[in-house]
Amino acid sequence: MRPLLCLLSLMIAGPAAATGQGSYDFAPAVSLMQEVVAGVPLTGATLVVSRDGVVVHESRYGNHLPTTRLPIASASKWVSAVAIASLVDSGLLGWDTPVGALMPDAPVDKHAITLRQLFSHTSGIGGGEGACLNDPDTTLAACAMQILGSPLAWAPGTCFAYGGSSMQVAGRMAEIASGLSWDQLFIARVVTPLGLVATDYGFNSIAPGYLAVSNPRVAGGVRTTARELLRFAQLFAQEGAWNATQVLRPETVAFMMADQTGGAPYATSPDPDSYGYGIGLWRNRVDAAPAALEVASPGAFGTWPWFDRASRAAGVFFVRNALGNVEPTVRTLTRQVRTIVGDGQPLHADGWEGKPMAAGCSARPAPANGF
């Protein structure tokens, strides 16, 4: 039976397809992908990498196809952040627009919370997920008001508490500011300019096409493909442009990658070794400024999109599995890719990794699903 077991292992671990490698040697990355696919094991996985907006590597493993569509959990935060940012660019919202300006019926103690705080986990709203986020029969408007009706866990701006509830409120502010439902504004502001055909907030649904939902999980409900998720990282690599369309202003992209926590100590954080949090993004590496060199938005199901400014590489590790099973591998993988496409630069030549955010807020349970 031993030869048969070896053959089955190779069938699971071997790439289903590898394209677009050009002059780069992705053999180390492919080897690492094969190890994690066989070792976890994973039923399927995809790695796709671009540099300067051009795909330079794509490999698929197991049952993954180019059309494989998966829920991406908290990787959704990056996707939703682009929609919010486009409204800011249009002047319909401001990063410092307070809740009370658009939702005067919210409890008074929530009126001063800003859009920036809602999308950087510093709003004072407790971490984790509000119960209404799992209710498909309610609306985004009703869910946001329910979240705002709960007592604040901290004063706004004083603590970093990772979770999806605050972004649900930001989504409702976007609806009010635009006069559109979340799905309508997402189609107009993101789907159409990026040419997406498989990205929506259908989460676990297997329904084809675009699925509109009345209560989209702004921070965690996106389903998409590896190639389409890559476009969000490519958007940052190209300073807000996609093809001939300037989706976001370059200065907006820079703002989103800057630390927006105001130095708030963390109460709950699945990534305490980060250099703060931008708008829907973790800052994993920084330079001396400290400007972000690498940003990422991993999800609890293992999918991990990232952009590395130093090597000009954008990538997506695409999978559905527990993040804890793949996170160490993906962190190594992003460093490998940086070396492969970054002219062989030493891994730590242009930044630092592993410096924790400051602790200090009262300890509370970490989000149940991690990212």
Indicate the SS3 state at residue 44.
Answer: strand
Give me the helices (H) in the chain, please: 2-13, 27-39, 76-89, 99-102, 115-118, 140-148, 165-178, 182-186, 192-194, 226-237, 250-257, 323-341
- The pLDDT score that the predictor gives to residue 269 is 85
- The pLDDT score that the predictor gives to residue 184 is 98
Integer Cα distance of 52 and 217 in angstroms: 31
The overall pTM is greater than 0.85: yes
- The pLDDT score that the predictor gives to residue 244 is 87
Per the structure block, which two tokens stand in for 320? 């559905």
> How are beta strands 282-286 and 223-224 bridged, if at all?
unpaired
- The pLDDT score that the predictor gives to residue 1 is 33
- The pLDDT score that the predictor gives to residue 150 is 94
Residue-level pLDDT, tens digit, the chain, 371 residues: 333 333 233 334 457 666 655 689 999 999 999 999 999 999 999 999 999 889 999 999 999 999 999 999 999 999 999 999 999 999 999 999 999 999 999 999 999 999 999 999 999 998 877 789 999 999 999 999 999 999 999 999 999 999 999 999 999 999 999 999 999 999 999 999 999 999 999 999 999 999 999 999 999 999 999 999 999 999 999 999 998 899 999 999 999 999 999 989 988 888 878 899 999 999 999 998 899 999 999 999 999 999 999 899 999 999 999 999 999 999 999 999 999 998 544 444 344 444 555 566 764 444 444 56
- At 360, the amino acid letter reads G
- The pLDDT score that the predictor gives to residue 350 is 40
- The pLDDT score that the predictor gives to residue 301 is 97
> CB burial class (10 A; 0-12, 13-18, 19+) of residue 66?
middle
- The pLDDT score that the predictor gives to residue 354 is 47
Q: Which residues pair with 306 in a beta bridge?
A: 296, 315
- The pLDDT score that the predictor gives to residue 53 is 87
- The pLDDT score that the predictor gives to residue 178 is 98
Sequence-distant (6+) residues with CB within 8 A of 359 are: 265, 266, 272
- The pLDDT score that the predictor gives to residue 241 is 96
